[in-house]
Amino acid sequence: MAGIFGKALADFASVMNYRLFRQGVISGNIANIDTPGYKAKDATFDEELDTRLKLAVTRPGHLQSPGESSGVSYRIKEDPFSRIGNDSNTVDLDREMMKLTQNQILYEASSQMIQTKIEGIKNAIRSIR
C-alpha cells in the first residue's frame, strides 16, 4: 500500500484491522455475559506499537533498536480491570459497551483519515487545490 499513498495509509489500514479484531474480542465477551466462570478478555497491540516506535540507527554509537516485526500480531489477554461477579464471571456489560463504543469511534476516525488522504490524492490528480 505504500508508494504514492505513503506509509500513513498502510498504518491506518493496520489500525483498522486491529479495531476489527478487537471488536470480535469485545463481542465475544458480551456473548458470554451469562457464562459462569467466563473471564473477560481484551486485545493488545503493544508488540506492534513497540516495533513502530523503534529507534533509527544512523551512527555506530546509537542505541540498537528491537528487531524487525515479522507481521502484525495481536494478543488476547484477560482484562485486568474486570470485576468478579457471583458466578465468577468477570464480564461487566457497562464496561464492555464503553469499550465497544470507544473502539467504534477510533475505527471511524481511522476510516476518515484514509478517506481524507484519498481525497487529497484525487485533488492532486485533478490539479485542484
Please report, for the chain, the start and end positions of each structural domain, with discontinuous segments joined by +: 3-126
Q: Is 69 helix (H, G, I), strand (E, B) or coil?
A: coil
pTM over the 0.75 mark: no
36 versus 57: the higher-pLDDT residue is: 36
Q: Within its chain, how far is the Cα of 5 from the centroid?
A: 20
Q: Tens of pLDDT along 50-107? A: 555 555 666 666 555 444 444 566 788 888 777 787 888 899 999 999 999 999 999 9
What is the Cα–Cα distance from 14 to 97, expressed in whole angstroms?
23
21 versus 44: the higher-pLDDT residue is: 21
Average the pLDDT over 33-49 and give the result. 82
Whole-number pLDDT of residue 4? 66
- Helical ranges in 37-92 per DSSP H: 46-52
Cα 89 to Cα 23, 36, 42, 44, 85, distances in angstroms: 20, 5, 15, 21, 5
What is the Cα–Cα distance from 53 to 49, expressed in whole angstroms?
6
Predicted confidence (pLDDT) at residue 7 exceeds the cutoff of 90: no
Whole-number pLDDT of residue 46? 62
